[in-house]
Structure 1
Amino acid sequence: MRNYIYLLIFCFCSLTTNAQTDKQGIYFAKKAYEKVSIPTYQQIKPELPQPIYEENPLWIEAWWKAWELAFQHFYEPAEGSGFVSPYFDAAFSGNMFLWDGSFITMFTNYAHPMIKSIEGLDNFYSKQYPSGEICREINRTTGKDYHEWVNTKNQPLYSVWGYYAGFGTLKQTGIQYVGRPVPTPNPNNTLDALNHPILAWAEWESYRITGNKSRLSLVWEPLVKYYEALQKYIRQGNGLYMTDWASMDNSSRNMWLEGGGTGIDISAEMALFARNLADIATVLGKKDRKKFYTKEADDLSALINNKMWNEKKQFYFDLNLKEEQCSIKTVAGFWSLIGQVATPQQAEALKLQLQNPETFGRLYPVPTLAADEKDYHPRGGYWLGSVWAPTNTMVIRGLEKYGYDQLAYSIARKHIEQVVGVYQQTGTIWENYSADTLSAGNQSRNDFVGWSGMAPILYLLEYGVGLKPDAGSNTLTWNIRSEQKVGCRNYRFNGHTASLTAEKNDKNQWQIEVESNSSFVLDIRFNQQSFRKNIKKGRHTFIISLPFNHKTIHET
């Protein structure tokens, strides 16, 4: 994401023509936009999930506010853009962004199938170069890559803005490959265009809700070609991966990456990419590809742990060109969790960092810069300590990979409490938040849905109400933590539509009611106890006395 400061330095931007061709999108089968009706928020509101959370009605109010703001930024492709699908966008500039768009799908997936928000990513696949490259920033009107990120000079990989753009300085910087030849032909994009390759993660998150196997088939080849392009152009000779300022505009770590340094975030993201490809390959029956990408991820993980882990400091760090470790702790280190890079011992150390109030365990976690770093800003300072929905989601999902569900829940709950608390103060949702006070970050846009819809929508459903789907196993897990009435009507996953409510009766028993149009497995959890029920079409009522066993569960 580009900081507001770029408006002040736009005059330095190149005016060269975007050299794009009609060969883009050759790996993606969808070639043209078939016009569909774009609903307004008021039109679609009755069809959206209807969460119930009597513990805090303001959470429900924020849920609807987030959807309202999201639908203010739901667009059809502009005529002549070459885009092929409607899309949600943060709409803070004239461009769409790959990692913003990817994170936006993670909560707008819950409008499926009325709105197939994952198809917004089609617009990136449709602009993929034959080399496999996908520019992370594309003009919403013309459909062309943001002109600064196009390698119009036909040079080997370079960063056109350098590593200090977030500090007000633009400096074109060449990339030095150490221990490997310079790749040929030259890339279509600059390094600035190739950060945060999380498309496969977004696709997997969508599949978890929708169960749409044909979607995975459609995006398989574009994802593989994208992965291979990143290996070709941004893998350094040490086997790790290079990045620019990685959309963390003013992060203190940026200068360490200058000229070809390797980032813990991009390296762990490539491990995540490989694991997502292995998961997708499993669904598609590509056993050899599953084995191949699993080994790719495991080999890269071993390399990251060998070079980027600091045993004394118990954290992961970026490397400069000399392979010296950066000394600055940032949220980037936690990509090692979701990428399943960390060993169990390293994951435990990272968990302790997240619980440490001196570093990342602040009043409202997770700050993007550790609080004991000299540049830490208690009001946020953009990427100098602000709390952001995308990085929090990355941390939460990563913790769950290692079984730290309670800490993941705690972080999610604190974030939604902050987002809703600031919403109560200001009437809107913000781009980022302070880690130390109940306030928006001091450099933060309002009405930002955008990825900040993550907390009031995704977190409310999955950590407030407690419903988490797994379409692959046709299972819906319901972790009931509230002591008051909780549930959701119009809940959809894997082709099912269900309404679920749980509340205590006058005998202090839990009465759970489920109505569904088709069959699935419901895994109900209270604290450490759980039981599974095969839900069939129709209405079901369960009376549960706690602590429960098979004798204290009655279906009526």
Structure 2
Amino acid sequence: MISRVLNCILFLSIISLSKGVASDQEPYTSFYVPNKYVQENGFLKEHQNLMHPPQFAKIKEKLPRPEWDARPDVISSYWKAWEMGFSNIKAATPQNGFISPYIDPVFNGNIFMWDCSFMTMFGKYGAHAFHFQGTLDNFYCKQLPDGFICREIYGTSGKNCFEKYDPSSTGPNIMPWAEWEYYLNFNDRKRLEKVFPPLLAYYQWMNLNRTWQDGSYYLSGWGCGMDNQPRLRGNYHREFSHGHMSWIDANMQQILSGKILVSMARELGREADVKDIQKEVDFLSRFVNEKMWNSDKKCYADRFRDGSISGVQTIGAYWALLADVIPADRIKSFVSHLENPTKFKRPHRVPTLSADDPAYVKNGGGYWCGAVWAPTNYMVLRGLSRIGEDKIAFDIGLNHLNNVTQVFQETGTFFENYDPEITKGRCRPGMVGWTGLVPIAVLFEYVFGLRADVPHNTLIWDIRLTDSFGVKQYPFGKDGLLDLYCALRPNGLQKPEITVKSNRDFTLKVIWGGGSEEIAVKAETDE
């Protein structure tokens, strides 16, 4: 009798903790094991910001102004990307319960974890005009008590689009990366303190609910964001099933996110909160190198249920660059695929599936079966920077920008993805959307070569163009604005002649083909 009473009390306690969730969030009863870090999630109690989105014409003067006399086509595509991006900003509504106005992914009216994370990475350059980073707040404010965050949320009702245990319900885990990129550009410690708890709780949910017995991670075609890639074998559904396999991108993303959370904890003095994460990062780093390296293909790949390694070379393997787990003796062979015309060096770089794969769709790219996508290209570029392969990154970035710009000149718009074999946009036109990465972030970071590290008060300027070019009102920190100009050069080896104006002191590291120089830039005053 006592046992039955205790069980009843326990059952009622669980219901109390879960708030009997068969209500607003989900159409079924769900019981939660509460995560303590969700209790620190301030976004859950934040009041809605129902402000009307700004109009592009009224805020254009607050945006950075690139200059490149030899390429007016690039400059016009840059401004059009911002115009389209601002036209896609939506207000939060009482019906959806979002707490911040946000940039819409331009897909089906819903918000996506995958898309929105990447959109903030070009949106940071417009932060003086609109707080694009707030787009992610609408995911944090929908976090469930156990740490789960759905990868897709209805824009009308604010409800989750998936039951959380569905293999396609969440992922990829890249929001920590998006927040860290923002931190590098603005040194916004208050935001870092605020996002750390929900990101940590979500990481822990992934660890508890997306791992196999061996500790490796799984997703699905939809969950990894690359819907129809030919990665599963047998009768498993290509888009919706986990296939009982270890997914290479999921494991690398978890390593990356774990490392970033450790870095966040170090900045915030919360190292004790991430001890288990550091252990998992170490374990997963060994796992992917020992069990997910295809020695014949010289590439990281998915691992099947029987322990065999897939021969499919997916762009998803290149999360290894950002995760920074590649042994020195493997880097050259792994990166060489990006320079191989039979694999990833197609006329428009970089296809999402190796061109020598039987499933590669030469005519159009077949969505994720070879098409070129802005988010995965940006991931590759940032990863190449991580390992110091900046020359390859410049070549890929310029090729990508040139192709996207030419399509824009011919059509007046941007597309969801691009043909790897010819200069043509594919699928949804009007995609800004994450394709805004190319005319904005890729232009600034990989063609102009500007990469900020505001927490260390440093700007890297890797100058590879020989044309004259520059940017005015480049944002550097919360209030910093820089004017940067590089004069025409006869060749890439000649030291560039630069002009820099700033309203704050900072260190400028200039790199060019013939050398490098560190300059202490002093703020200009009105005196």
- Report TM bin, short chain: 0.7 to 0.9
Partner of 1:29: 42
Matched, 1:252 2:252: no
Q: Paired residue for 2:245, among 261, 266, 277?
A: 261
Partner of 1:538: 524
Q: Paired residue for 2:508, among 507, 518, 522?
A: 522
Taking structure 1 as reference, are residues 510 and 406 closer, same or farther at Cα in structure 2, changes over 3 Å only?
A: closer
Does the 8 Å CA contact 2:495/2:514 hold for their aligned counterparts?
no
Taking structure 1 as reference, are residues 220 and 349 closer, same or farther at Cα in structure 2, changes over 3 Å only?
A: same
Q: Paired residue for 1:436, among 416, 421, 428?
A: 421
Partner of 1:319: 303
Q: Paired residue for 1:240, among 191, 209, 216?
A: 216
Computed over aligned residues only, the root mean square deviation of the Cα atoms, in angstroms, reads 2.3
> What letter matches 1:515 in structure 2?
K
Alignment of 1:4-23 (within 5 A): 17=27
Question: Which range is displaced more, 347-356 or 293-302?
Answer: 293-302
> What letter matches 1:419 in structure 2?
V
CA deviations 1:111-157 (Å, max 9, x no partner) are 113312111101101111111111000001111001xx12xxxxxxx
Alignment of 1:78-477 (within 5 A): 78-146=93-161, 149-150=162-163, 188-245=164-221, 246-255=224-233, 258-289=242-273, 293-378=277-362, 379-441=364-426, 444-477=427-460
Distance (whole Å) between structure 1 residues aligned to residue 78 and residue 524 of structure 2: 28
Paired residue secondary structure (1:371)? coil
Deviation at 1:523, TM superposition (A): 1.5
Distance (whole Å) between structure 2 residues aligned to residue 327 and residue 394 of structure 1: 22
Deviation at 1:234, TM superposition (A): 0.5
Question: Which range is displaced more, 236-245 or 521-530?
Answer: 521-530
Paired residue secondary structure (1:312)? coil
Does the 8 Å CA contact 1:133/1:189 hold for their aligned counterparts?
no
Question: Which range is displaced more, 59-68 or 496-505?
Answer: 496-505
Does the 8 Å CA contact 1:279/1:290 hold for their aligned counterparts?
no
Q: Which runs of 5+ in 1 are unaligned?
A: 1-15, 151-187, 541-556
Does the 8 Å CA contact 2:294/2:311 hold for their aligned counterparts?
no
Paired residue secondary structure (1:431)? strand
Deviation at 1:67, TM superposition (A): 0.6
Distance (whole Å) between structure 1 residues aligned to residue 208 and residue 408 of structure 2: 45
Partner of 1:66: 81
Distance (whole Å) between structure 2 residues aligned to residue 45 and residue 475 of structure 1: 26
Partner of 2:474: 491
Distance (whole Å) between structure 2 residues aligned to residue 528 and residue 36 of structure 1: 50
Distance (whole Å) between structure 1 residues aligned to residue 121 and residue 435 of structure 2: 11
Partner of 1:185: none
Q: Which runs of 5+ in 2 are unaligned?
A: 1-25, 235-240
Taking structure 1 as reference, are residues 224 and 505 closer, same or farther at Cα in structure 2, changes over 3 Å only?
A: closer
> What letter matches 1:113 in structure 2?
H
Does the 8 Å CA contact 1:278/1:294 hold for their aligned counterparts?
yes
Q: What percentage of aligned pairs have identical amino acids?
A: 35
Distance (whole Å) between structure 1 residues aligned to residue 307 and residue 523 of structure 2: 59
Deviation at 1:291, TM superposition (A): 5.9
Does the 8 Å CA contact 2:473/2:481 hold for their aligned counterparts?
yes
Matched, 1:481 2:459: no
Deviation at 1:528, TM superposition (A): 4.2
TM-score, with length taken from structure 1? 0.83
Distance (whole Å) between structure 2 residues aligned to residue 131 and residue 437 of structure 1: 47
Paired residue secondary structure (2:429)? coil
Deviation at 1:505, TM superposition (A): 9.4
Distance (whole Å) between structure 2 residues aligned to residue 509 and residue 358 of structure 1: 36
Taking structure 1 as reference, are residues 315 and 42 closer, same or farther at Cα in structure 2, changes over 3 Å only?
A: same
Deviation at 1:476, TM superposition (A): 1.2
Distance (whole Å) between structure 1 residues aligned to residue 113 and residue 481 of structure 2: 30
CA deviations 1:349-384 (Å, max 9, x no partner) are 211111111111212221111111111111211011
CA deviations 1:389-440 (Å, max 9, x no partner) are 1111111111122111111111111111110011111111111111111112
Does the 8 Å CA contact 2:152/2:170 hold for their aligned counterparts?
no
> What letter matches 2:339 in structure 1?
Q
Partner of 1:13: none
Q: Paired residue for 2:66, among 37, 43, 51?
A: 51
